[in-house]
Structure formats: structure tokens, C-alpha cells
Structure 1
């Protein structure tokens, strides 16, 4: 199957985690777009969704799915989103679509994170995919220098990208993320960092992995 077909497969499989009458947390990206399209087929069974990006909100509303502001919701059963990388413990790198901060906010509302991805995203050690970091613009150069000093990482500004929150994205290359929780905790303390794209505090509880032989379910 093509990568696009694998994304559609896991998007459809994620429907089994959608609880009738609930508000569903919905992430961002091409795989999630397939999930949103699948969710539209059962939209009459749910109350609506909480979205992590302007783009996903627009797609949900185009399907006639009500979208709630995160401030209107105290908790949700599941948050369904993709990943740029996921390791054997369910830790993830996310933010290739520049929505990492809002994704963490919605993930924090959720009882469980369900990751949907194709098998190319499963890695032994994260870091091959550049680590996205959302930063306040005036701190970008300072944070880049700190990544070099602390981790030997090469941080570059993602050109032409402004997040939904009005901030910039640094992409950090050359990392080996052997202790995701420690790195997430450390980097999030640096002045000017809005959030780092390591999801270890809000790691996946289930990963639906699209493979050539079908959907592989990994539970953490």
C-alpha cells in the first residue's frame, strides 16, 4: 500500500477509540486529516471535537462536526494525533506541522493519547527527525546557542513559519534523545521556549501503526 493508503487505514482504525456522546480530541497533520474524514462518517454519534490547530478546525467544521474551544472542556476521553517519531515506550517527537503547543494543550485534557502513524515513524532512538521547538521570536538565537552547548544540537529557524500562537519554530538536528522525559523537562525551563516537541509527559498509550500487512496495535 502507498503511504497515503496506510494513513487512511489507521485513521479508520482510530474510530474504535471514539466514545459515543463524547468530545474527541483531534490533532494535526496529514494522517489526522484521514481520521477527520473517517470521523465525519460517525459525526452524529459524538458531541463534537476539540482541535489542536486552525487547519484541523477548518476541516472538522467543513464536515459539519462541532468544534469546542479547549476552555469549554474540562476533560476528554481520547486525543487522537499523529507523530513524527515514536519509540518503543510511546514517547514521541511532534511538531512537523508547527502545532506542537496546542497539541500538548489538548493532550493534557485527554485521559488517553492514541497515536496514529505509519511504520516508518517507529524508531529505536528519537532524533533522526529534527526536533521542533516553539520559541518566542526574541529568544530564538539564544535558545539555538543553548541547544548547541547543552546537547550538541544544530538549531535552525524554520523559514517562513509563524505558529497559530504567533511564535517561531526552531528545528534541532543532530540529537540522540535517549532520555525523552529529562530532555523535555529541561528544555521547557529555558527562557523563551514555549514548548519543545518531545511528548514524554503526554506519551502515547496506544499506537495504531499502519503496515503493509494491516494495522498493528501497540499498547504502552
Structure 2
């Protein structure tokens, strides 16, 4: 039941519930990865079952694909969809210009490909993810396994010349073994603390041999939906320059997310 959720989980629920209102019949929808995005997939599934909503979803990870199928959402590949009407995804951080850090869930490569192949990207989040300057959350960088230690050393050496406060990188682990992405790559988490020039940082990182993609999403997000524990949803549209707020009612007995484990 939503009334039994923690304030942070209620905030995620509210953001997800509000964001799926942007989805219309016949749309091709990018489905993000992570705990907040999983709530969104379940909300979409509810609309599919109760309203007969017909959409095609393009998931950004194998676990999102599995959840979407479980919820009754039709899943297709990006190649089959070709172009998307909207992508809805979470974020680890966002700033006033709606630049993002993503990749905490390990799916940054597919997430960036899908988001940039969309007419619109909507980010769903809670207020704790908003920052004045990106960088407190470790910046994920996907690298190929071959020579990853050399790539790490090159990154750390290059960070000396960038406007960042921290310059260390660590290999993301999954227990005793390196974390492996859906594409078979590793992730280096950069502990930068503060990123003074996110655009420059993203460009330089992607020029390095061994780097596949980084988790800085610059000029990609169009709208952010911020959920609050009291049921308030705030929608910020960077293109229109508008901020809208409304309240969503929690449904007594709601059980959509009782077994959500992501």
C-alpha cells in the first residue's frame, strides 16, 4: 500500500505516476533503468491493463525488459522502433539546467542511446537529487575490459587538468568480481566531488581510448518531474521555462509496488 511506503518511496511513486500521464496511445516509449524507473514501468503497466493503453516500450537494460514484459508492456528493440516519442528515466543528480549524472544502475550506455533517440526525455526523481553543481555522486564511465587499468590511469592523469575537486577512480564491483554491463563492459566510478565544466569533462572523457561512454547527460533532458512524500508533483520544462505543481491522491489499498525489489 502506498500509505505504508516511506516518504522517499512515496516521492518516487508520485513522480512516476505523474510522468506516465505524458504517454499517449500509440507512442514508442524509452523505458529507463533503476529503482525510480521501475516504478514508472509498473505505472505504465497499470495503464495498459486498466485503460487499454497501447504503446511499444524500448527498455534500457535486461532487467527493465523483464519487468516491462511482466507488467504487460509490449517490448521492442530500438532498431525496430527506430525513433521514440519519449523516454522516461531516473537520474542520480540533476542541476538547474537539467544536466544529469546517470549510471548508478549500470545502464548508462543504453540509457544515453535511447534518450538521444527520443523527441523528449522526461526524468523522474525526488528533491534529494537536485544539486547546484554536479559531481557529488560518483560519475560512472563505461570502459572495455581490455586494458581497463591503463584506461583508469589515463583518466586519473587527465582529471588533473579539469575543473574537478576529486581525481580518483574505482572499479565498480559485483561482490568479488568486477561489475559487468549488458554490453560486457566494466564501469569506473569517478569520485570528482564537484564538476566545474560538465560539458568539457564529458567531451574529454569520451575521447580517451578504452572509454565507451560517460554518465554525464548534457542538453538531453527536457523535463524533470519531482515527486514529494506528501503527494506533490512538480514538473519543470526547460524548453518552455515553466514550473507546474499539483497534488496526486494516494489510493487506499494500492498494491502496485508491494513486491518491488529493484
- Determine if the TM-score, normalized by the shorter chain, exceeds 0.5: yes
CA distance in 2, matches of 1:94, 1:150: 21
Contact 2:33-2:90 within 8 A present in 1 as well: yes
Q: How does 1:68-217 map to 2 (within 5 A)?
A: 68-152=76-160, 153-160=167-174, 161-202=179-220, 204-213=221-230, 214-217=232-235
Q: Measure how far apart 1:217 and its partner are.
A: 1.4
Structure 2 counterpart SS, 1:106: helix
State the superposition RMSD in angstroms: 1.3
Contact 2:9-2:229 within 8 A present in 1 as well: no
Q: Measure how far apart 1:133 and its partner are.
A: 0.6
Q: Measure how far apart 1:19 and its partner are.
A: 2.0
TM-score w.r.t. structure 1 length? 0.95
Q: Which runs of 4+ in 1 moved over 6 A?
A: none
Larger radius of gyration: 2
Q: Is 2:43 aligned against 1:35?
A: no
**After superposition, what is the alpha-carbon deviation per residue over 1:54-109, rounded to whole angstroms, capped at 9, x for unaligned?**
00000000011110011112211110000000011010000001000000111121
Which stretches in structure 1 are left out of the alignment for 5+ residues? none
CA distance in 2, matches of 1:30, 1:69: 22
Count, aligned residues: 219
TM-score w.r.t. structure 2 length? 0.80
Q: Measure how far apart 1:175 and its partner are.
A: 4.1
Q: Measure how far apart 1:31 and its partner are.
A: 0.4
Q: Is 2:68 aligned against 1:54?
A: no
Q: Is 2:60 aligned against 1:25?
A: no
**Worse-matched range after superposition: 74-83 or 41-50:** 41-50
Q: Measure how far apart 1:166 and its partner are.
A: 0.5
CA distance in 2, matches of 1:139, 1:9: 43
Q: Please identify which structure carries the higher helix content.
A: 1
Contact 2:14-2:228 within 8 A present in 1 as well: no
Q: Measure how far apart 1:212 and its partner are.
A: 4.1
Q: Measure how far apart 1:40 and its partner are.
A: 0.8
**After superposition, what is the alpha-carbon deviation per residue over 1:27-52, rounded to whole angstroms, capped at 9, x for unaligned?**
00100111111101222322320000
Question: Which residue in the other structure is 2:75 paired with?
Answer: 67
Which stretches in structure 2 are left out of the alignment for 5+ residues? 1-5, 161-166, 239-262
CA distance in 2, matches of 1:135, 1:154: 16
Structure 1 counterpart SS, 2:147: helix
